[in-house]
Structure 1
């Protein structure tokens, strides 16, 4: 993963000073080669040691190592590896907004993939599969989060996994009273700040179930109640673009879980259920 993607991936977990450094680098990557660590510190009004610590926290030996890595990323883009990258004025070189949107979505998916290693995704798939064998999977999401919650609940049902989907916290709280050890609760919440969802997560764990949260890659109250977490990183300064990147990266992440479930032996059940449903759709 390039230095710039690594900075974007870790931004949500950074302190206020670290975010200032990250934003400056992301906004002025082309100019970084002309800055020493002291000049960067002076531009931001912080200490030079803060810049060095920032670089080391990202896994670089120091500022020169980070600057070299950023320079490599820019050189690859200039050589055509990222032909749709905006120029300094924010215009698309090829004038095609569709290609720029595709680039942004691809980048969000790449960063999201990097912060959800295979073993983490496999752990979620295993928990869901085990719950499907001997119990239930509870799924909840509020507002726009319910779009993905509802769609994923349908997919699990097609795999023969008993799901309890709800978008009402009161009803889900009542449903959780029937949960048992081995059951799984999937909570979709982009920002993870709804107190009601935190309460449901706590109650579910008290029942012996496994809580899986699906949120942005940020420190949030909901993750404190999670046994397993799926994380999404998608950022853009344009208010109409950022939600599109979030939904795209999240969908790709859920697709990874779904594929693992299918390859775990549930593909035949999926095919059988699709055959039963097809006449209803075609009629």
Structure 2
């Protein structure tokens, strides 16, 4: 298996179109790690055959091996920069004095995270994911530390849409084992994984795949232990100056996914809204207990 550096050295033999394909890979290494061949070809605007030709011309047996090359490449970069990327930054005295600039930089960091997320997601991928969630017998969402907050929020949104969902804490081994023991091919597993990673999440992913469940991963890097070979790996940038993770991009993804579900539901969403309104009116006393429909 070649390295990225070796492929760069071979790239002068590529045609103009092939060079454009390889440049996309170099500029979007994390996307290559988790995207399907079809999605990669669509993002570049070429055929799947063209992408495969580049893979083989650069020394890979196919796209699967190219993904492995880039996973190793991204993993090494993450390892080399771990201390810099995931250690909280200090703010010098000069920066502290310009609070306006510091505040703007914080907002800009969150905006950049959302922009990068939007650019990495294809329309087909997001709506396919929404349909998968809608069709699930049950959705189990796993998180650890701050990731559990996101799992709780996603579960709340799904349950509102009448999709059976449960949020579970990674690390609560008995509950996790019991829940996984009942998983089958009709279920969806959602894995949240952000630094500092909870490494055993990879065991949950492997067992869920073994049982035939569909896995959705929401994480910050293709080198995350929760990333799978499936089509639903969503990379959300979360780095901030003062904390390990900003929740802005992951929460935005949850909002977009559940909004897509709502769009796909059509008239069923109107019934849910009516049901919720009826409960609110009853609880506020607008509907008397002796109403005909309650007899």
Q: Say yes or no: TM over 0.5.
A: yes
Determine if the alignment matches structure 1 residue 101 to structure 2 residue 106. yes
Separation in structure 1 between the aligned mates of residue 129 and residue 264 of structure 2, nearest angstrom: 13
TM alignment of 1:139-178, pairs within 5 A: 139-167=141-169, 168-178=172-182
1:269 & 1:192 partners in 2: Cα distance? 42
1:128 to 122, 126, 133: 133
1:115 aligns with 2:114: no
TM-fit CA distance, 1:14: 7.2
The 1-side partners of 2:74 and 2:102 are apart by 30
Q: Is the 8 A contact 2:205 2:228 kept in 1?
A: no
Question: Aligned residue pairs: how many?
Answer: 204
5+ unaligned residues in a row in structure 1: which ranges? 1-5, 24-88
2:247 aligns to what SS in structure 1? helix
CA distance in 2, matches of 1:14, 1:195: 14
Aligned residue in 2 for 1:44: none
Give matches, 1:1-283, under 5 Å: 13=74, 15-16=76-77, 95=100, 97-131=102-136, 135-167=137-169, 168-191=172-195, 193-224=197-228, 226=230, 228-236=232-240, 238-240=241-243, 243=245, 246-265=246-265, 266-276=268-278, 278=280
What is the RMSD computed on CA atoms of the aligned residues?
3.5
How far does residue 127 in structure 1 lie from its aligned partner after superposition?
1.1
Residue 150 of structure 1 contacts residue 165 of structure 1 at CA under 8 Å; is this kept in 2?
Answer: yes
Change (3 A) 1:104 1:272: same
Contact kept in structure 2, 1:198 and 1:221, CA below 8 Å: yes
**CA 1:270–1:193 in structure 2 vs 1: closer, same or farther (change >3 Å)?**
same
Residues 165/95 of structure 1: CA separation in 2 closer, same or farther (3 Å cut): closer
- 1:164 alignment partner, SS class: strand
How far off its partner does 1:90 sit? 5.3
Question: Does the aligned pair in 1 maintain the 2:117–2:237 contact within 8 Å?
Answer: yes
Whether contact under 8 Å (2:185, 2:211) holds in the other structure is yes
After superposition, the Cα gap between the structure-2 partners of 1:181 and 1:111, relative to the gap in structure 1 and judged at 3 Å, is: same
- CA distances 1:135-171 after superposition (whole Å, capped 9, x unpaired): 1111111111010100110110010111132213430
Asked if the contact 1:121–1:230 (Cα under 8 Å) also holds between the matched residues in 2, the reply is no
Where does structure 2 lack aligned partners over 5 or more consecutive residues? 1-25, 32-72, 85-93, 286-295
Calculate the TM-score normalised by the size of structure 2. Answer: 0.58
Task: Compute the TM-score of the two structures, normalised by the length of structure 1.
Answer: 0.60
CA contact (8 A) 1:186 1:213 kept: yes
Judge conservation of contact 2:96–2:102 (CA < 8 Å) in 1: no
- Alpha-carbon distance in structure 1 between the residues aligned to 2:106 and 2:280: 33
